[in-house]
Amino acid sequence: MDRLTQPRPPQTHGMIERFNGRIAEVLATTRFDSSQSLAETIKRYVRIYNQHIPQQALGHIPPIAAMQVWYEKQPHLFKKKVYNLT
C-alpha cells in the first residue's frame, strides 16, 4: 500500500503519514480470517476516507467533494465524471 511520493511540502507528507497511520490502526485492531477479508477491509476504509472524512487541507470537505468542485470548474481535466460510490 506504500507509494513513493515526489518531494513536496511537509504538509503533504503529513497527510500521507496520517492516512497510513489510520490504516495501520485499523489493521492493528482487527483480526482477519483471510487475505480476502483484509483486502475488503482496506478497500472499504479507502472508500470511507475518500468519500466521508473531511480533510483540513481541502477546506474541511471530503476528497470526493473537492473533486466534484474541481470537475465543475474544469471538466476538461478529467477523463470521467466524478461521482460518489455507494
For the stretch 3-56, pLDDT in tens is 565 666 666 677 778 888 888 888 899 899 999 999 999 899 888 888 888 988
Q: Global pTM?
A: 0.61
Check: CB of residue 85 under 8 Å from CB of residue 51.
Answer: yes
Q: Which pLDDT score, from 0 to 100, does residue 58 have?
A: 86
CA dist 82 and 54 (Å) reads 17
In the numeric block, the cell 487541507 is attached to 57
Q: Which pLDDT score, from 0 to 100, does residue 2 have?
A: 55
Query: ∠ CA 83-36-38 to the nearest 5 degrees?
Result: 80
